[in-house]
Amino acid sequence: MSITVQSFGIKEALNKLHIKEINHGSAYGINSFGEGELLNSYSPVDGELIGKVTATTKEEYQKIMASAEEAFTTWRIMPAPQRGEIVRQFGEKLRELKEPLGKLVSYEMGKSYQEGLGEVQEMIDICDFAVGLSRQLHGLTMHSERPGHRMYEQYHPLGIVGIISAFNFPVAVWAWNTALAWICGDVCIWKPSEKAPLCGVACQNIIAEILEKNNLPAGISCLINGDYKVGEFMTSDKRIPLVSATGSIRMGKIVAQAVAARLGKSLLELGGNNAIIVTPDADIKMTVIGAVFGAVGTAGQRCTSTRRLIIHESIYDTVKNALVDAYQQIRIGNPLDENNHVGPLIDKDAVNMYQKALEKAKSEGGKTVVEGAVLSGEGYQSGCYVKPAIVEAKNEFEIVQEETFAPILYLLKYSGEVENAIAIQNGVAQGLSSAIMTNNLREAERFLSAAGSDCGIANVNIGTSGAEIGGAFGGEKETGGGRESGSDAWKIYMRRQTNTINYTTELPLAQGIKFDL
């Protein structure tokens, strides 16, 4: 194993997480050699090899599935509050390992260390939420039209939940799904991104220890590794009633079709082309803070990153100039150095995508406000560091209609009333997150109304990034329609059952139908 960032405690973090040079995760334990091909995990921070995992073979997958099926027979009949106790212990262990896991997230994925810690905190928060939920998996009671009958509905565990997560949140999105699924009595099989596999191994190490300590089957939490071909094992498997997939719209459409073909359920969290509307009544200082963090946080690699800033013509130049000044203060470099604001993109493919997007914007008539560039030299040897860019554009540009996973912010101008800005905001295929900056109550309420933002998330006087655990997270249109995390998102991990009990000595039929023998 090659670790070069010694001063930031990476090697110590890996030791605490029991990460060895070659790791293979499955229901049968971690850090063992598998039979599949080796996948290398390179850090975008310095380009160094962190470690390797073996891709899961079809034969290994079948063994893992058998383990999960067997574990489900035990886990589903355990009372939900007892399942909650296991999740509580998992959350406590995450508190103990927050620092090393946060460092691994930062080093393997490239987000800032503070964001890495924040991601682990999201895992802790969803565990806390799930523990409380374990005593609230309630149904409804209904009045029957037949005398002496009682009707109610209840929720039962669904079965095996397949989870496919993306590189940008290599641990939190898995936890959003699995903590709720475990509470609901499901067992989980997780395929983390092949671009951040060690984060998956670390999480599996943690929960495997908890399960072993409580004499519970290892198959409650299973890990498989590999590219899209390994993901296809799950999407085509009738034994998996629900597949939760986070990633690109292209990937989501493939998953949705494969799962629907076998009449399974899919929970999709796909792309976002998120906008902030800035009205004449906006607080400019708040606007700049929200827009800058939304656009450059995680190097623009959040599904909720701010891609478009829709500014009223009367304050357009004021906001633009304030943004230019703010961008001059952005510090780009090693994300483990807390003095830096922006780390690298995930890999050189992402850098190429960033460059092509800027070229496309210019070819369509976009005007560069803050020039982008690929950084090189000392500290940037991985070739994955880029400068956040700002481009004046129009919403109808092809490149503006797309989601580019990079720190590129498009400035769009609107005139007239807020309805015109909302039309621009809604005028894309994606519908994840949106925001409006205004101190005008009528504008805010218009934005939140049924005729306002068409996104799953709509904020007032905060940016598009930064969702809280308590609310359901997800979006509409090509974002996929899925909901994770808070509110009643737990229901998708369960099957609903309506029950009718007849406590009389007669058998009356519904709707007054007579059937006498």
DSSP bridge pairs for 390: 370, 409
**Which residue in 508, 502, 496, 515 sits closest to 140, CA to CA?**
496
Q: Which two tokens stand for residue 350?
A: 């992402």
How many C-beta atoms surround the C-beta of residue 416 within 10 A?
9
Give the Cα separation of 104 and 336 in Å (integer): 10
DSSP bridge pairs for 498: 153
Distance of CA 34 to the CA centre of its chain: 28
Q: Tell me if residue 303 is catalytic.
A: yes
Active-site entry in 269, 443, 478, 484 = 269
Active-site entry in 184, 303, 384, 455 = 303
**Which residue in 297, 503, 302, 311 sits closest to 395, CA to CA?**
311
**Terminal alpha carbon distance of the chain:** 79
Tell me if residue 485 falls in helix, strand or coil: strand
7: which residues sit within 8 A by CB, 6+ positions away?
none
H, E, C per residue of 234-263? HHCCCCCCEEEEECCHHHHHHHHHHHHHCC
Give the Cα separation of 277 and 308 in Å (integer): 9
**Which residue in 119, 123, 97 sits closest to 106, CA to CA?**
119
Strands 476-477 and 430-431: antiparallel
Sort 280 into a burial class: Cβ within 10 Å, 0-12 / 13-18 / 19+: middle
Give the Cα separation of 403 and 381 in Å (integer): 27
- CA torsion 375→377→378→382, rounded to 10°? 60
How many C-beta atoms surround the C-beta of residue 79 within 10 A?
11
Strand locations in 168-305 (E): 187-191, 221-223, 242-246, 265-269, 274-278
Distance of CA 151 to the CA centre of its chain: 38
Give the Cα separation of 200 and 17 in Å (integer): 11
Q: Tell me if residue 188 is catalytic.
A: no
Q: Which two tokens stand for residue 504?
A: 């009389």
Whether residue 462 contacts residue 304, with contact meaning beta carbons closer than 8 Å, is answered with no
Q: HSE of 348 in the Cβ direction (CA atoms, 13 Å)?
A: 8
**Which residue in 116, 120, 119, 91 sits closest to 103, CA to CA?**
116
DSSP for 315-340 reads: THHHHHHHHHHHHTT--BS-TTSTT-
H or E segment at 23?
A: strand 22-23
Q: Which residues are annotated as catalytic? A: 269, 303
